Structure 1
């Protein structure tokens, strides 16, 4: 009987000790999980991303939307677009952009507010347009949602 109690007691103590290892994370630990380490390679700190990006994005009722997006190291952008084969004016916007916590995506700010329709994943030599939820666009048209870098800002990286 004594051996049985010792075995059950030992199992109970091991369970208590193992349960203590799953202590809730502190606020600092939770924040640190979302912020890339200084030594972690991200698009922001590893790529020559500042420069000019151009491409033609898909359009439902025209041949495409011609886009030119200029990003600079100061965190500002100039955006120009027009609907091809339409008599519509060119859209010009300028403002700032912010990096998401991952360090690989940016979101353009519009009047000081994040513009969910203007999110991009920064990759080597290009920007991938993301959907309104910040997710990658998938399917047959996915390759058409890429703006190629046509000019690199001097001193970039």
Structure 2
């Protein structure tokens, strides 16, 4: 076999190898209706896990309150009302300070695989706030990046009984 024919044979083999079809991607499984049914909220103290689609916002809505740490006062008394329609109202009272309570409102959504709540204030001069969903009975304020406070202080709010 001559060198030109050998070179042509090699090029033909390489060209055919390059045209080899890619293997088919695996089929995507569609979940059944039972798999996508609403997930019950986990009782207090148990790990919480579900997806956003299965999260029952109306069932989780309610009033949460507690005292969060404050850098220059004894604490900040917080009352957060998560309304079933996706709106919220929050009231903050700085302990040992005179003056009116700070009140804000906006909308709340569930994100991060139903592990946290985002408060989006109506006042665009305010920043969003994030809370981890610890259980049906408790949420914990996170930093702006969605991480727990490194201070080790208690940033949790507890569900209050319905009036």
Q: TM-score, normalized by length of structure 1?
A: 0.64
Find out whether 1:76 has 2:87 as its counterpart.
Answer: yes
When the two structures are aligned, how many residues end up with a matched partner?
Answer: 125
**C-alpha distance after superposition, 1:11-51 (max 9, x if no partner):** xx9xx99xx5697xxxxx8xxxxxxx735734862684211
Partner Cα distance (1:90, 1:21) in 2? 63
Per-residue CA deviation, residues 54-98 of structure 1 (Å, 9 max, x unaligned), is: 100000111000000011221111100111000132011122112
Query: What is residue 32 of structure 1 aligned with on the other side?
Result: none
Q: How is 1:35-50 mapped onto 2 (pairs within 5 angstroms)?
A: 38-39=36-37, 41-42=50-51, 45=55, 48-50=59-61
* TM norm structure 2: 0.62
CA apart distance, 1:140:
2.4
RMSD of aligned C-alpha atoms?
A: 3.5
User: Which of 127, 149, 159 pairs up with 1:149?
Assistant: 159
CA shift for structure 1 position 149: 0.5
Gaps of 5+ in 1: 1-12, 24-28, 30-36
Larger helix share, 1 or 2: 1
Which of structures 1 and 2 has the larger relative contact order (alpha carbons within 8 angstroms, sep 6+)? Answer: 1
Q: Which of 1 and 2 has greater Rg?
A: 2
Match in the other structure for 1:129: 141
- Is residue 140 of structure 1 aligned with residue 138 of structure 2? no
